[in-house]
Structure 1
Amino acid sequence: MNLFVSVDKIEPWKYILNANIPELKLSKGIIITEKIKENLLKKGIFVIPIIKNSAIEYAVLRNELVEQSYNKVKEFWSSLYEKQKIDKDQFIDVSQDIAESIIDNFDDDVIYIPLKKLQNFDEYTYTHSLNVSIVATLITKAMGFDNFLVKKVSLSALLHDIGKSKIDINLINAPRGLTKEEFEQIKNHVKYGKEICYEQGIDDENIISGILYHHERFDGRGYLSRLKEEEIPIFGRIIAIADVYDALTSKRSYKGCWNNYKAVSHIIQNSTKMFDPDCVSAFVKVFGIYPPGTKVLLSDYRIATVIASKKDNELQPLLQIGNQIVVDLASEKSYILKVL
């Protein structure tokens, strides 16, 4: 049953749109932000159907922090494209805020990961950098690394694609498959990233290793160095998973996006091929087999949406059914029959 509320009374992040609004290109299921509220009111839409966003209670990051971090990352990349200069300290601050929030909340048994949603194709560079940092930081924390290294991974992941600023933006965003020669140019972004970091006074070898080696594969078939297994520095192995997960679940001008469940399944299936199995295990520990956002059919034929994963219990996540009913499968007789 739809709950209709006045747009100006909606608290951002706490509610989810429960209908499509084509004129604003808003899809059912999107979390309502302050910007979405503004756009609705400008368009003369004053009442909308919503459901409560129960996931927010289990977030490892406040949505406000995600939004603030996104705005800073966007400024950073704009400066990099226009002036070939970066505010290193500002970028470090963003990564540390992400890492510290995750460190503070990681001990909770139930977690929700609020990744930044892509609103248009031009945002991909910014949202991707931010999301990869969040996912890589979670993987590192789940692997038991000390907080000093967790913070370094957060920064390395935030910077992992910085070398793409030296490549023609039209090639980066080409709405088609690339030629062999064009792909060779793209591959050089890892090398350019290392060069930019050194130019800007970022010379920590752990941080550089994540930038330089996040496209290596566990089976040795990656680039540029074709390293394999433990030859690949651990930061590269961790960021590789975060990079692929966000890329698969993001819509681009030349491809659609996968749902979260399909992307997680792909990463599990490629353990020992593309990815370090220990890193994959840590990834599954925080995302679960059924990551947040996955729609499922239960054995009693109720339809539900996964809202949070449970550490060390990958098969029994928290679900939301209808407007506000939250179900913990660990205390239910029902189970997930299939993914919808």
Structure 2
Amino acid sequence: MNQKTIVQQSIKSNFCNLSEGAPISYVLIDKRLLKVGDHINFSLFFNDALTHMSLFLQSDTVIDEEHRRKLKEIERLYVHQNEKSVYETFVEEELQRTVEDASLSLNEKVDIIYSSTSQLTDSLYKNPDALENVQRSKKIIEPIIETIFHNEKTIKSFIKIIGYDYYTHTHSLNVSIYALCLGSEMGLNEKKLNDLGCAALLHDLGKSGIEHNIINKHGALSQDEFEKMKKHPSLGYEIALNIGIKNKDILDGIRHHHEKLDGNGYPDGLKDKEITLFPRIIGVCDVFDALTTKRSYKAAIHSYDAIYIMKTRMPKHLDINIIDTFIKMLHD
């Protein structure tokens, strides 16, 4: 394989430093979502060196030009944990306006979407059994799909901005973005992309049922720990059924993303054509993101090196045709 340059740029998203400089009972928000005329139903706070946290705007306030001017002078804004769910509902509604905002550049839109959907995905993974997660996952996916459909340069913009520090929720969002970009490259229609995005976003839900010390272990897992980890696809499948997901493609993506073409995967030991399209796509994106993100026990590797490993060491595990399409997507 001839070596080509794959653009890769790590940034600090607004979500990555949620607790920095503020008490744990406050959550950092993305102030770029606040527009003149917005009626906010949550109070906003800023970190004051003297009083620690000070009120900036009271709940039930309409943002005006003066508020907006003052916003520019404050680096970080927070909501209290008690109003986090209200703020997140606001975020879900504002994401659509962000997609449609002609005053924002594509890179600005992608940055806001990634930061905001990271926060929503974190909440989703902290409460995986919540019935509203079906609708939340759709609301996370929709602005990403719409941006991909409306600008041919979106794929490259998303790939540039994806974070390279590993957390379960950011990994799931990254895999979802890669899968949506890849699905678009493969010509999937909007309905299929919505389903694929949801499957990819929820593919690791089952990790909520695995012991925390195993999920976050520094170093290689023991055989016993690995056997426990291997249960996460079937656990995720059960959670998906319990929250009302009936779509077979989505369920396949969640349950079978660790199956391998040679039959040595898990949990069902599927082989070759028994593995459907969604698990094949998610499997490629899952491995790529795992290789290119930094973990507590390993450094991130370059995109080219990750692709080389996937092509040369995993031809019996991953769909080579999908890997080739993935490479084309990264280079276009």
Q: TM-score range by the shorter chain?
A: 0.5 to 0.7
Partner of 2:139: 93
Residue 111 of structure 1 pairs with residue 143 of structure 2 = no
Residue 99 of structure 1: CA displacement?
A: 2.1
**Cα distance change of structure 1 residues 221 and 109 upon mapping to structure 2, 3 Å threshold:** same
Write the distance in 2 (CA, Å) between the matches of 1:110 and 1:161. 23
2:43 corresponding residue in structure 1: none
Deviation at 1:175, TM superposition (A): 1.0
Q: Write the distance in 1 (CA, Å) between the matches of 2:17 and 2:212.
A: 31
Q: Structure 2 vs 1, CA of residues 146 and 60 (structure 1 numbering), >3 Å: closer, same or farther?
A: farther
1:74 aligned to 2:149?
Answer: no
Name the structure 2 match of 1:326. Answer: none
Q: CA distance change for structure 1 residues 61 and 220 in 2, over 3 Å: closer, same or farther?
A: farther
Corresponding residue of 2:195 = 152
Give the match for residue 51 of structure 1: none
Supply the distance in 2 between the matched residues of 1:137 and 1:110 (Cα, whole angstroms). 9
Instruction: Judging by fraction of residues, say which structure has more strand.
Output: 1
- Whether 1:142 and 2:171 are equivalent positions in the alignment is no
CA distance in 2, matches of 1:63, 1:194: 31
Equivalent residue, structure 1, for 2:208: 165
Give how far 1:176 is off. Answer: 2.3
Rounded to whole Å, the distance in 2 between the matches of 1:109 and 1:198 is 33
Corresponding residue number in structure 2 for 1:31: 11
Runs of 4+ deviating beyond 4 Å: 32-40, 56-61
- Distance in 2 (CA, whole Å) between partners of 1:108 and 1:164 is 33
Q: Select the structure that is richer in helix.
A: 2
Classify the secondary structure of the residue corresponding to 1:177: coil
- Corresponding residue for residue 238 of structure 1: 281
Instruction: Compare relative contact order (CA 8 Å, sep 6+) and give the higher one, 1 or 2.
Output: 2
Q: Give me the whole-angstrom Cα distance separating, in 1, the residues matched to 2:116 and 2:258.
A: 28
SS at match of 2:317: coil
Distance 2:310 2:276 in 1: 19
How large is the Cα RMSD of the aligned pairs?
2.8
Give percent identity, aligned residues only. Answer: 32
Offset of residue 171 of structure 1: 1.1
Unaligned runs of 5+ in 2: 1-8, 22-46, 50-103
Map 1:303-314 to 2 at 5 A: 310=332
Tell me, yes or no, if structure 1 residue 276 matches structure 2 residue 319: yes
Instruction: Quote how far apart the aligned CAs of 1:36 are.
Output: 8.8
Q: What is the CA–CA distance in structure 1 between the aligned matches of 2:155 and 2:279, rounded to whole Å?
A: 27
Please report how far the alpha carbon of residue 228 of structure 1 lies from its aligned counterpart in structure 2 after TM superposition.
Answer: 2.0
Per the TM alignment, residue 111 of structure 1 is displaced from its structure 2 partner at its CA by 2.9
Cα–Cα, structure 1 residues 60 and 230, in superposed 2: closer, same or farther, change >3 Å?
Answer: farther
1:229 aligns to 2:272 (yes or no):
yes
Q: Deviations over 1:161-216 (max 9, x none)?
A: 00111111111111122121111111111101110011000111000000111101
CA distance in 1, matches of 2:232, 2:17: 38
Between the aligned partners of 1:59 and 1:203, the Cα distance in structure 2 is 35
Q: Give the Cα separation in 2 of the matches to 1:219 and 1:60.
A: 43
The aligned amino acid for 1:31 is I
Partner Cα separation in structure 1 for residue 239 and residue 171 of structure 2: 19
1:64 partnered with 2:112:
yes
Gaps of 5+ in 1: 1-28, 45-55, 289-309, 311-340
Deviation for aligned residue 1:97: 2.0
Q: Deviations over 1:27-57 (max 9, x none)?
A: xx753655799979x9x9xxxxxxxxxxx97
Residue aligning to 1:334: none
Contact 1:157 1:239 in 2 (8 A): yes
Query: TM-score with structure 2 length normalisation?
Result: 0.66
**Alpha-carbon distance, 1:282 to partner:** 1.5
Q: CA deviation at 1:271?
A: 6.0
> What secondary structure does 2:318 align onto?
coil
Q: 1:278 to 1:59 in 2, by over 3 A?
A: farther
Indicate how the Cα distance of structure 1 residues 78 and 118 shifts in structure 2: closer, same or farther if over 3 A, else same: farther
Aligned to 1:178: 221
- What do residues 310-332 of structure 1 show as CA deviations (whole Å, max 9, x unaligned)? 2xxxxxxxxxxxxxxxxxxxxxx
TM norm structure 1:
0.64
Structure 2 residue aligned with 1:194: 237
- Give the whole-Å Cα distance in 2 for the aligned partners of 1:86 and 1:111: 33
User: Structure 2 counterpart of 1:94, which letter?
Assistant: I
